[in-house]
Structure 1
């Protein structure tokens, strides 16, 4: 599945932070999710987490597991920089 997804750079992801564009995106383990429809991501903020970035390393501190991402649409994959 990941091979067929459109790639987005970190800077493209950062624009979908709930402030610069209407879309609210987050990345987790290289996959970008659209969380725009979630009231928990109002204006790009979810508790102490901000949209428009890779939240892979922040999940261990969350009170939920990665299964929460199944609720959201996949929009693409995060381009590996380097």
Structure 2
């Protein structure tokens, strides 16, 4: 899969506040959560969009399988 590469700064802007897109990164891939009702306004429980959530997943009540519902739109540099 040949995906565009984004910097952490570009990811950070897609937080639902600075820009309307709601993106999160996980294990090097960026996912667009804009259409997810669980990410309204860029917030999902105590997590904010525009960040790499790889290290935060162990604290979540779900597994990484949740990312299988979303198609990666890019990679994090």
TM-score w.r.t. the length of structure 2 is 0.96
In structure 2, the residue matched to 1:70 is: 68
Q: Are 2:18 and 1:20 equivalent residues in the alignment?
A: yes
Q: What stretches of structure 2 of length at least 5 have no aligned partner?
A: none
Root-mean-square deviation (CA, aligned residues, Å) is 0.7
Quick one: distance in 1 between partners of 2:23 and 2:61?
20
Moved over 3 A (4+): none
Quick one: distance in 1 between partners of 2:20 and 2:48?
14
Correspondence 1:1-40 to 2 at 5 A = 1=1, 4-40=2-38
Q: What stretches of structure 1 of length at least 5 have no aligned partner?
A: none
